[in-house]
Structure 1
Amino acid sequence: MHKKMMLAFVISSLFLSGCNDDNDKDENIRTEAKTEQPTTENIGTVKNVILMIGDGMGPQQVGLLEEYARRAPNSIYNSTGNKTALSKIADAGDIGLSLTAPFGSNGSLVVDSACSATQLATGIAAGSEMIGLDNDGNIVQTILEKAKSLGKATGLISDVRITHATPAAFASHQAHRSFEDKIAVELIESGNVDVLLSGGARVFLPADIKENAATQQLMSDLGASSSIYKKSKRKDSRNLILEAKEDYGFSLAFDNAQLQKVTGDKVLGLFANSLMSDGIAYHACKEANTCTQPSLREMTITALDILSKDEDGFFLMIEGGQIDWAGHINDAGWMLHELVKFDEAVEAVYEWVKDRDDTLVVVTADHETGGFGFSYSRKDLPEEKILDGDGMAGNAYKPLYNFGPLDNLDRIYKQSATFYDMMTAVNADWDFSNTTGQQWADVVNQYSDYKVTVDQAAAIAEREVNEYQVDGHPYLGASEFPKIVDFKEFYVYGDDLHADLIGRAIAAQQNIVWGTGTHTASPVAVYAFGPKNITKTFSTMQHHVDLGQKMMAAIK
Structure 2
Amino acid sequence: MVEEAGKASGLVATSTITHATPAVFASHVASRANEADIAPQLLENDVDVILGGGKKYFPESLLNEAKAKGYQFASNKEDLAKVKKSNKLIGLFAEDGMAPELDRDETDQPILSEMTGSALDVLKNDKDGFFLMVEGSQIDWAGHDNDAAWAMKDSEAFEKAVEKAVEFAKKDGNTLVVVAGDHDTGGMSVGGYGKGDAKLEVLRQVTATGDFMESKLNADRSNVKEIVKQYTNLDLTDAEAGRIKTAKSPSMAINQIVSERAIVGWSSTGHTGTDVPLYAFGPGSDLFRGLHENTDLPVLMGEAMKIKFTPGK
Tell me if TM exceeds 0.5.
yes
**Correspondence for 2:128 among 305, 309, 312:** 312
**What is the distance in 2 between the residues matched to 1:271 and 1:278?**
12
Q: Distance in 1 between matches of 2:19 and 2:193?
A: 38
Q: CA deviation at 1:162?
A: 0.6
Aligned to 1:256: 77
Question: 1:425 and 1:324 mapped to 2: Cα distance?
Answer: 24
User: What are the superposed Cα offsets for residues 478-504 of structure 1, whole Å, 9 maximum, x if unpaired?
Assistant: xxxx2xxxxxxxxxxxxxx43222222
How big is the shift at 1:255? 1.8
Is the CA contact 2:193–2:265 (under 8 Å) kept in the aligned structure 1?
no
Partner of 1:381 in structure 2? Answer: none
Q: 1:329 offset after TM fit, Å?
A: 0.9
Q: How does 1:116-155 map to 2 (within 5 A)?
A: 146-155=1-10
C-alpha contact 1:367 1:522 (8 A) present in aligned 2: yes
Q: Following TM superposition, by how much is the alpha carbon of 1:549 offset from its aligned partner in structure 2, in angstroms?
A: 1.2
Q: What TM-score comes out, normalization by structure 1 length?
A: 0.52
Paired residue for 1:341, among 157, 168, 179? 157
SS in 1 for 2:277: strand
Query: Unaligned regions of 5+ residues in structure 2, if any?
Result: 307-313
Within 5 A, what are the aligned runs for 1:19-418? 146-191=1-46, 193-205=47-59, 239-246=61-68, 248-262=69-83, 263-282=85-104, 284=105, 292-378=108-194, 402-404=195-197, 408-418=199-209
Contact residue 74 and residue 91 of structure 2 kept, 8 A: yes
User: 8 Å contact 1:160–1:275 — kept in the other structure?
Assistant: yes
Aligned residues: 305
Does 2:283 match 1:527?
A: no
Cα offsets for 1:368-416 (capped at 9, x unmatched): 11111122545xxxxxxxxxxxxxxxxxxxxxxx4236xx223202211
Matched to 2:13, the amino acid is: S
Q: Is the 8 A contact 1:362 1:529 kept in 2?
A: yes
Deviation, 1:357, is: 3.7
Task: State the Cα distance separating 1:449 from its structure 2 match.
Answer: 2.8
Asked if residue 512 in structure 1 is aligned to residue 257 in structure 2, the reply is no
Q: CA deviation at 1:508?
A: 2.3
1:174–1:183 CA contact under 8 A, matched in 2: yes
Identity rate, percent: 39
Structure 1 residues 376, 370: closer, same or farther in 2, change over 3 A? closer
Separation in structure 2 between the aligned mates of residue 327 and residue 368 of structure 1, nearest angstrom: 8
Closer, same or farther: CA 552–415 of 1 in aligned 2, 3 Å = same
Unmatched tracts of structure 1, length 5 or more: 1-145, 206-237, 286-290, 379-401, 428-433, 464-481, 483-496
In the alignment, which residue of structure 2 is the partner of 1:442? 226
Deviations 1:134-190 (A, max 9, x none): xxxxxxxxxxxx110011011001112111111111001111111000001111223
Shift of 1:355: 4.2
Residue aligned with 1:541, SS: coil
Partner amino acid, structure 2, of 1:403? G
Match of 1:540 among 273, 284, 290: 290
Give the Å deviation of 1:529. 0.8
1:499 corresponding residue in structure 2 = 251
In structure 1, the residue matched to 2:310 is: none
Per the alignment, in what secondary structure is the counterpart of residue 149 of structure 1? coil
Name the CA distance, whole Å, in 2 between partners of 1:541 and 1:456. Answer: 43
Q: Which structure would you say has the larger RCO, counting Cα contacts within 8 Å and 6 or more residues apart? A: 1
Decide whether the 8 Å contact of 1:412 with 1:449 is kept in 2.
Answer: no
Deviation at 1:204, TM superposition (A): 0.8
Deviations 1:281-335 (A, max 9, x none): 33x57xxxxx732221111111111111111000000011111111111111111
Residues 456-467 of structure 1 aligned to structure 2 (within 5 Å): 456-462=240-246
Computed over aligned residues only, the root mean square deviation of the Cα atoms, in angstroms, reads 2.0
- What SS is found at the alignment partner of 1:335? helix
Does the C-alpha gap of structure 1 residues 507 and 242 become closer, same or farther in structure 2, counting only changes over 3 Å? Answer: same
Query: TM-score normalised to the size of structure 2?
Result: 0.91
Offset at 1:447?
Answer: 1.1
How far the C-alpha of 1:352 sits from its partner, in A, is 0.7
The amino acid of 1:546's aligned partner reads D
Whole-Å separation in 2 of the counterparts to 1:184 and 1:368: 27
Conservation of the 8 A alpha-carbon contact between 1:375 and 1:512: yes
Amino acid at match of 2:215: T
CA distance in 2, matches of 1:451, 1:521: 36
Please give the alpha-carbon distance, in whole angstroms, between the structure 1 residues aligned to 2:4 and 2:44. Answer: 16
